[in-house]
Structure 1
């Protein structure tokens, strides 16, 4: 049975890690539904990939929005079996700022809402839809791949909100896998290091070179395609479950 002759949802799918993953899944024949707030990029990507790829403008923090996106995916001519969450944001702020001001609560809450609550929102709706499908080999009905970060383990100064949100994603992985074992849905998480996404692409070349030099091996920034390759491998390997996989070239981040 082709692991990819199925429907898939990818949140944050219009750029960076999500775009690379959507491309990889579509190339293997999956019917991909791209979830993203960026309508222009999302529609352009769906048009480029063609076939069974569609775009749904989605706010991962909004219950009705995610529910509608998953409904679109389950309405395709094959069962929904893959959900990959890549939607995420970051903010740089210290717990106490240089002028003695406390970390902004709104900024902290927003990062957690998108990165942690948004990931949970996709997880719960996608896995509920998968639970309604016919089981395949070993009784498997689907797989969810979430995105954390090595900042969950060695977050730097100013990464408090981001690290907390990604630590939450790490912490959800095993209990979600255990919860969903009864319906045959696997859950894994990828924790990337420094990946050359649009966010890092805005840095000057010298700064990018300095970041690359700090990575033990290989001495380069990660590529979105590295992430997509790992996500695809997790989908294919039916015995991977409840695990968080660091993808970072052996990098352990310093305090700053």
Structure 2
């Protein structure tokens, strides 16, 4: 008996009706198409008929590819593709000129699979490239002059180009857990002040034992760093809160924009 080719997982079929029922209203009144956690393996062509949405969430599926037809979503301001199996991005993503939030964290992207057209997203404020297989960051990303937050954590980076590190509006840069060589001080790759700003405040009761220990370790590190960096004139106080946790790989929703207009 001849052996057939091994078939990949059969994903859920998304119909236009399902897609229409998945449209939500975002905090600012925009229309958000939420198809996250749907077991999708192939980009559903039917959603091209809903290309006038403002936000598109395809996160936590099993997508390996986004088609060139993504260019149909010209009104798109917010695109979440995190936690898929993406090995490449289409060049047409550079046509989404209204995009200000792009999350492609936790995929299988390499430096070669990042299209040069990413640098055309002139209005981009938030970009998450964490948890991929990037060996270097293209210097062309320095063209993203409006960028405020950049995630580069858990990749294979050995350096960060100055054109990216010195972006004029960059406030948060997370490049933790990359194999920077010993000859390069961490402070040269990630500004200490910006590293502090990437930490997230959570209540102790919301953490498991493992995360709590990680948080306490991070808090100890921050206290040591605090002794190095000059104290501000007025200390901020966060009672009953811990300061850690950009380390848990299972928590992939830290980059969801809240309450900030483009």
TM-score band by shorter chain is 0.3 to 0.5
Compare relative contact order (CA 8 Å, sep 6+) and give the higher one, 1 or 2. Answer: 1
Higher strand proportion (structure 1 or 2): 1
- What's the TM-score once normalised by structure 2's chain length? 0.34
Max radius of gyration: which structure? 2
Q: Which has the higher helix share?
A: 1
TM-score scaled to structure 1, two decimals? 0.34
